[in-house]
Amino acid sequence: MDSHVGVEQLQHLLEAVVQIVADLDLESVLHRVVETAVQLVDATYGALGVLNSTGTRLERFITVGIDDEQQRKIGSLPEGHGILGLLVIEPRPLRLPNLNEHPESFGFPPNHPPMTSFLGVPIFIRGEVYGNLYLTDKLGGDSFTGADEELAMVLASAAAVAIDSARLHDRVRQIDLIEERERIARELHDTVIQRLFATGLSLQGAVRLIERPEAAERIQQAVDDLDATVREIRTAIFELQIHQGPTYSLRRDLLAVGSDLADALGFEPSFQFEGAVDTLVPPELAVHVIAVVREGLVNVARHAEAQRAKVFVDVAGGQLAVSVTDSGRGPQPSRAAGRGLDNVTNRAEQFGGTATLEALPEGGTRLEWVIPLPE
């Protein structure tokens, strides 16, 4: 077999390298690298496995040659065991005429296409292994050659440059986004809040000049609405200034709980958030908040015969307060003695807090759960 790289292959490699390095989108770069590798060495299947932060297993696996339906039937993506794990343990080129005969071969999962010849090369970025390029089943039934290995190694070097460039570009975009968030936060604080505050003061002054009680009451309600809007904007400003990238969102998960239970309730519950909920409530505490809100809404659906329900989450003064209020028939004996309230109470006591269930003067019930926030 020819072990030398041909002129056409070199030309194809050069063109591919130029295209890959010019791309600044990381996802596009990763897919283009695999597609190019498959074409360069006449492989049937190709994949790029990205290592996790500890370099011990694969956390991503980009494939070419296996369509979405096949992937769905195969199931979960590989993590780097068997033959794939050889490059994880010892990152150096590996060529096998038949990977099934290797002692480290684990075989394939159900619905996986059969594969025979194998070529794998590592991708190094700044001296660290980023991932591995895997190629299988050379067209024509042959084994991969030394020339194929050389092409794959050159491509892996070019891929490292392109991936590094795309990651740096993504970081620059994140910095730009942070700066834009800061600009929006300043605009909200310096312009919008000040105007709303001035409008509220003017309306408060006008209340004293109005003789009709109902008109004065409507103006006072407008002032209260403005105050609530100012609080919400201040919360948004704080979130804009704190968040610097994709983070866990308790708000999003709580809204999802409300959507999940809408059918059982017969309506969509409303939500109100005060303070930097997503920032000050850590994920390990957020799971308890979600459980409390879910328990509260489930109780409303089962017992309250309510037309409305509101979830209020407040982060202020070093504590987290969660309440679920409904417009139903008030606490019932079966509801008060239920196991659900015991669970909510236990969750509160676990963090040195309290949980109460009370009837409201205007009708309905409020479940309140309050705990101190960790410093």
pLDDT tens-digit readout, 141-168:
889 999 889 888 988 888 888 887 777 7
Given 191, 217, 242, the domain boundary residue is 242
Q: Are residues 217 and 78 in the same domain?
A: no
Question: What whole-number distance in Å separates Cα of residue 338 and Cα of residue 360?
Answer: 19
Give the gyration radius of the chain's Cα atoms.
30
Residue 305 inside a domain? The answer is yes
Q: Do 28 and 85 sit in the same domain of this protein?
A: yes
Asked if residue 120 is part of any domain, the answer here is: yes
Is the CB of residue 234 less than 8 Å from the CB of residue 274? no
Query: Using 50, 70 and 90 to split pLDDT, how confident is the model at 245?
Result: very low
Let me know whether 162 and 202 are in one domain. Answer: no
**Same structural domain, 334 and 211:** no
Q: Domain check: are 160 and 266 in the same one?
A: no
Mean pLDDT for 31-46 is: 90
Burial track 278-303 (b if 16+ CB lie within 10 A, e otherwise):
bbbbeeebbebbbbbbbbbbbbbbeb
Which of 247, 195, 255 is closest to 226 using CA atoms? 195
DSSP 196-263: HHHHHHHHHHHHTT---HHHHHHHHHHHHHHHHHHHHHHHHHHHHHH--S----HHHHHHHHHHHTHH
Among 200, 245, 247, 192, residue whose Cα is nearest residue 226: 200
- Signed CA dihedral, 316, 322, 327, 333: sign only: negative
Least confident of 30-44, 249-263, 311-325, 328-342: 328-342
53 three-class SS: coil
More confident residue, 76 or 349: 349
Angle (CA) 281 283 289, round 5°: 65
Residue 47 belongs to a domain with what CATH number? 3.30.450.40
Q: Where are the alpha helices (DSSP H) in the chain?
A: 7-22, 26-40, 68-74, 82-89, 146-187, 194-207, 213-242, 250-260, 262-265, 277-280, 283-299, 333-336, 339-350
User: Does residue 352 fall inside a structural domain?
Assistant: yes
Cβ neighbours, 10 Å, residue 234:
16
Are 236 and 260 part of one and the same domain?
Answer: no
Q: Is residue 214 part of a domain?
A: yes
> What is residue 363's three-state secondary structure?
coil
Pairing of strands 354-359, 118-125: unpaired
CATH number of the domain where residue 339 is located: 3.30.565.10
303 lies in a domain?
yes
148 and 12 within one domain? yes
In this structure, are 191 and 127 located in the same domain? no
Tens digits of residue pLDDT in 172-196 = 666 666 666 677 766 666 666 666 7
Same domain, 355 and 222: no
Question: Does 289 reside within a domain?
Answer: yes
> What number is the average pLDDT over the span 210-217?
73
Tally of domains in the chain: 3
Residues 263 and 356 in one domain: yes
Same domain, 350 and 367: yes
Domain end, chosen from 116, 143, 171, is at 171
Residue 224 shares a structural domain with residue 279? no
The reply to whether 2 falls in a domain is no
Domain that holds residue 50: 7-171
Residue 1 lies in a domain: no
Q: Which of 171, 194, 218 is a domain's end point?
A: 171
What pLDDT, on a 0 to 100 scale, did the predictor assign at position 336?
41
Quote the pTM value: 0.48
Residue 314 Cα to chain centre, angstroms: 23
